[in-house]
Chain A
Amino acid sequence: MAVSKFGKIENHMFAFIIRRIIQALLVMMIISLVGFAIKNKIGDPVRDLVGERVTPGERAEIADNMGLNDPFLIQYVRFVKHAVKGDLGRSFLYNKPALEVIIKHAPATIELLIGSALIIILVSLPLGVYSALKPRSLLSRFTMSFSTLGVSMPVFFTAILLIYLFAVNLQVLPSYGRGETVDLFGNGYWNTGFLTIDGLKHLILPCISLSSIMLPLFIRLIRSEMMEVLETEYIKYAWAKGLSPARVWLIHAFKNTLLPVVTVFGVQMGLTFAFTILTELVFQWQGMGFMFLEAVQRADTSLLVAYLVVVGSVFVLVNTIVDILYGFINPTVRIAGTK
């Protein structure tokens, strides 16, 4: 009995995984199709490759050679054929394989995300907990009103404000770029700013700007979760037992606060990725967001499609893995899906 049931579950699981993978592939198809459909609306890449004096006839010839005049389906099939082999086309702007361009720009964005995640964690935890414990203290009130301000300020504005304050007026921090970087693996793919003083200095303002969107949210989230937990029966019981405040707050209350916060953190970091585009623009941070805007402005359509496909597949991949893991952890997910 037990064995057969076990086998059945395994079958379910296998079917579930297959289904999720097929779904993921379908989503990828749709993303690349959408990318292809909009690429002609972005503009004409040939325009950016030639001077204004080049005649329409010569431009058409160049477009022909680039295969831009072929019917939509032929272009798309050609793209998919190459994409399966890992070739996502060639960026017109950088004049390199699009995938290579994207991979080289990714570390800058990842470092920006890591930096701001660190800031969010290091600032929101103590402030959130403190303002839950001492809601009436001056610091808590200040934190709360300040965080309202933070939520309502667009990241673009925050960034420019920070630049003018710290770079232009006080002249303590640099205004743009990544500064001195170190080639991490010696192959030119991952240049890190975390290992030099100059690189770290350059990280400060962009990371603060980027974290400014999520920081208030997390302070508030931690505060309210913590306050909720503090009202529960078992905390009251812990007090009654005569435990020390430090023990009650940190071991009993804080630990239980963290669970929902971690879940939200995962989701919000995905959203933060979207905000890197603006942050990178203001700070001229040479990451994927900056590259994306360049591609839009200069009508580098092949880089644009490659970008959509890469970012899309990262998201799809992560979601698929999470879904599959969820399936293992929580059986109701896959059983609900079997019928």
Chain B
Amino acid sequence: MKKLVLLALSLFLVLSFTVSAGAKTLKVGLDADPVSLDPQVQLSGGMLQLSHWVFDPLVRWTQELTFEPRLATKWERKDELTMRFYLRKGVKFHSGNTFSAKDVKWSFDRMRTSVDFKGLLEPFDGCYIIDDYTVDIKTKKPYALLLNMSTYFFAMDSEFYTGTDANGQPKDAIVKIGESFALNNESGTGPFVVTKREQGLVIEMERFKDYWDKNCPGNVTKFTLVPIKENATRVAALLSGDVDFISPVPPQDFRRVNSDDKVKLVTISGGRIITFQMNQNRVEALKDVRVRQAIVHAVNNAGIVQKIMKGTATVAAQQGPRGYAGYKETLKPRYDLKKAKALMREAGYANGFEITMMAPNNRYVNDAKIAEATAQMLGKIGIKVNLKTMPKAQYWNEFDARAADMMMIGWHSDTEDSGNFSEFLMMCENKETGYGQYNSGYCNPKVDELTIAAQSETDLDKRTAMLQEIEQILYDDAAFIPFHWQNHSYGAKKNLKVKEIINAMNFPYFGDLVVE
């Protein structure tokens, strides 16, 4: 018996050694898993992350928010409306098919039919094939963000997705509820090939042997993604060595992860601004700019970053973070309780008033705590806040109904550009154009005018001036309460070179990850 156990044990040891030699495996625990393998079915952070692992875009963002060639090797502006992309040769899809211009056009056209993406593609006229490795992408009007949008143009294998599946349904159908070929099968050009996927449980990927990027430093051969939703469990999984990499790391565990000698914490500032909107249609007092100024002055957002976010966010006084075109250095946070009280008196509200406030409790990092702190801070200038927090599943319908006087919303610009914030959050709400879809009760025609003008301004200096002017107007108007830009946080074993692969978009490029 003893001999048998020994034999089994040594066999086990030998086997485990042979497996670990050479192959670099990576196990990642994230708070959610991508909903499908179809990169065009849903516009969400999780799906875009997956797209960068399994597919490749024409260009992608670098850490410095510049563009890096991927499937496009270079590009040039032909005229006001057209950008010409020269495509990479010798690129293979996972299916073995060869990548060419037809795939770019095919993917572009398919994306336009997706409910989630067609809004973003609204400014575009179309994609035109010049030759096998050249395409022109045209916009309807001059459009400054054409390259920004090209980071969304992931190439799908047109041949692979053409035809009908076993159920007689076209393979390229974009299906939200129900079966479809593209939901469960992939053929991209990306560094990883999906080998197994079980919704909510695991996605297993292996390095694509024919990956075009021979200069890619990444050495992960087997990449497993598991969703671990519970914060404490995710951290424990990293600390115990069950996974190699986690994200996000909850702020209350930063110190724990940092002090452990086997793992490290890496953060990078992100572009998601957290705000409270003040509804002027619901509350007469909020129409007075002095009252709004008083509220903004009463909120100690730097204190919230310190105490609640444990220093892992960047205090904000405007919509877009540093690095975005509209960022204006001179706009500073303005916590000043004395001034806030004076402004309230001046506006004739020395005795304050009562308002309602709503916030989600599982959407943004520490969202409910931020709301509670804000309610308390407003109490100091006599504003009595009735706060209600709820899960995001219920919150967004309340937001649609503008159900409270103050509502929390966080926003990350799809285009990594300042204009996007104003389009959704600050332009006057217009059901027809869709502008101001998430604006609860602020309207300034000047902001609308500038935001629209900035869209088609291709002179970047002029455009920057416009976007900065918008930020200044919003600042002077105290259009919303700015809190901070959330940092992205990653916990990883020490032998992972994490710093090199992260970026403000929260798309860790695992294809480039070096495991030492």
Contact = CB atoms under 8 A, between A and B. Distances in A.
Interface of A: 41-44, 47-58, 62, 66, 90, 92-96, 160, 163-164, 167-168, 171, 174-177, 281-284, 286, 291, 294, 296-299
A174 B199 CA distance: 22
Contacts of B393: 42-44, 47-48, 296-299
Contact of A56 (B177, B178, B437): B437
Nearest to B395: A43
Contact of B199 (A95, A175, A284, A297): A95
A163 B178 contact: no
B394 A43 contact: yes
14 contacts: A42-B393, A43-B397, A47-B396, A52-B438, A56-B400, A56-B437, A93-B200, A168-B240, A171-B240, A174-B242, A175-B237, A176-B236, A281-B230, A284-B229
Given A43-B393, A58-B115, A297-B391, A51 B437 contact: no
A258 B391 CA distance: 46
A51 B236 contact: no
Contact of B115 (A42, A54, A94, A174): A54
Contacts of B285: none
Given A53-B120, A294-B200, 9 more contacts: A50-B116, A53-B414, A54-B115, A55-B437, A62-B176, A95-B36, A283-B233, A284-B229, A286-B201
A102 B54 CA distance: 30
A282 B233 contact: yes
Contact of A54 (B116, B228, B229, B392): B116
Interface of B: 36, 42-44, 115-116, 119-120, 176-179, 183, 199-201, 226-230, 232-233, 236-237, 239-242, 362, 391-394, 396-397, 400, 414, 424, 431, 434, 437-438
Contacts of B392: 43, 47
A50 B19 CA distance: 41
Contacts of B437: 53, 55-56
B176 A50 contact: yes
A164 B237 CA distance: 10
Nearest to B184: A95
B43 A53 contact: yes
B177 A92 contact: yes
B316 to A, nearest CB: 19
Contact of B242 (A47, A95, A164, A175): A175
B391 A51 contact: no
A62 B237 CA distance: 38
Nearest to A171: B240
Nearest to A299: B393
B115 A177 contact: no
A170 to B, nearest CB: 9
Contacts of A96: 199
B183 A95 contact: yes
Contacts of A177: 226, 242
A54 B176 CA distance: 13
- Top 7 nearest A-B pairs (CB, nearest first) are A43-B393, A51-B43, A299-B393, A167-B240, A168-B239, A51-B116, A175-B240
B176 A174 contact: no
A170 B139 CA distance: 60
A286 B199 CA distance: 11
B242 A49 contact: no
A103 to B, nearest CB: 15
A282 B230 contact: yes
A291 B199 CA distance: 11
A284 B226 CA distance: 10
B177 A90 contact: yes
Contacts of A54: 43, 115-116, 119
Contacts of B391: 43, 296-297
Nearest to A295: B393
Contacts of A55: 119, 434, 437
Contact of A53 (B119, B229, B242, B431): B119
A44 B179 CA distance: 21
Nearest to A65: B177
Given A54-B119, A90-B177, A175-B240, A44 B397 contact: yes
A293 to B, nearest CB: 8
B177 A49 contact: yes
Nearest to A281: B230
A325 B170 CA distance: 54
A58 B362 CA distance: 25
Contacts of B178: 90, 95
Contacts of A284: 227-230, 233
B85 to A, nearest CB: 24
Contacts of A47: 392-393, 396-397
Contacts of A175: 233, 236-237, 239-240, 242
B15 to A, nearest CB: 13
Nearest to A293: B229
Contacts of B362: 297
A206 to B, nearest CB: 11
Nearest to B438: A52
A281 B232 CA distance: 10
A162 to B, nearest CB: 10
Nearest to A167: B240
A160 B236 CA distance: 9
Contacts of B36: 95
B200 A160 contact: no
Contact of B240 (A43, A48, A174): A174
Contacts of B176: 49-50, 62
Q: Counting chain B CB atoms within 10 Å of each CB, which of A43, A164, A294 scores highest?
A: A43
Contact of A62 (B115, B240, B438): B115
A44 B200 contact: no
A180 to B, nearest CB: 12
B394 to A, nearest CB: 5
Contacts of B232: 160, 163, 282
Contacts of B183: 95
Contact of A164 (B201, B236, B394): B236
B417 to A, nearest CB: 14
A90 B178 CA distance: 8
B241 to A, nearest CB: 6
A66 B175 CA distance: 12
A262 B255 CA distance: 48
Q: Counting chain A CB atoms within 10 Å of each CB, which of B176, B226, B241, B414 scores highest?
A: B176
B353 to A, nearest CB: 30
Given A44-B397, A49-B42, A175-B240, A163 B233 contact: yes
Nearest to B201: A286
Nearest to B119: A53
Contacts of B438: 52
Contacts of A296: 391, 393
Contacts of B42: 49-51
Nearest to B226: A177
Given A42-B394, A47-B396, A54-B115, A167 B236 contact: yes
